Amino acid sequence: MIVLASDHAGYPLKEEIKKHLTEQGVAFIDCGTDSPASVDYAAFAQKACLKITSGEAALGVLCCGTGVGISMAANKVKGIRAACCSDYFSAKYTRLHNDANVLCMGARVIGAGLACELVDVFLSTDFEGGRHQRRVDQITAIENGEILG
């Protein structure tokens, strides 16, 4: 199960991603927003990310105007590793090397076709582990207030 959310700027892109996921047979939870009326992205990022940290969803896709604001909000939720991506390589390698659990995209930055490709590669790429696990563990340590080095 994956979780989706957006603010008003990301709403049209989220709706295109929903259509794509439905066509692919991918189950999802839509945490809103449900219209282009102005809303604050932080609340929707938090709502979606809590679905991941609770175990209701494994991965998330969040959209706002640039993808940056919603990724910043998502990364404030303990246990979330959100990455704002606008290209295939970043979307693939943030899963492969960083074990990202949330993909963030900007509706004012990329179109629906590319966004759906990024969702596909993000969802189909597994974490490689190995030497990358140490680095992910360091990210978690920082999140837990530990001083590295």
Note the pLDDT tens digit of each residue in 108-148: 999 999 999 999 999 999 999 999 999 999 999 999 999 99
Q: Which residues span the domain enclosing 139? A: 2-143
> 31, 49, 63, 64: which is the annotated catalytic residue?
64
- Looking at residue 123, which CATH number applies to its domain? 3.40.1400.10
CB neighbour class for 56 (10 Å; exposed up to 12, middle 13-18, buried from 19): exposed
Whether residue 38 is contained in a domain is answered as yes
Whether residue 60 is contained in a domain is answered as yes
Q: For residue range 63-112, list pLDDT tens digits in order.
A: 999 999 999 999 999 999 999 999 999 999 999 999 999 999 999 999 99
Instruction: Provide the domain count of the chain.
Output: 1
Whether residue 148 is contained in a domain is answered as no
Look up 64 and say whether it is catalytic: yes
pTM flag (> 0.95): yes
Question: Per-residue confidence at 58, pLDDT binned at 50, 70, 90?
Answer: very high
pLDDT for the residue numbered 49 = 98
For 4, residues 6+ apart whose C-beta sits below 8 A from its C-beta are 14, 17, 18, 21, 28, 29, 30, 31, 48, 60, 61, 62, 63
Mean per-residue pLDDT for 1-30?
A: 98
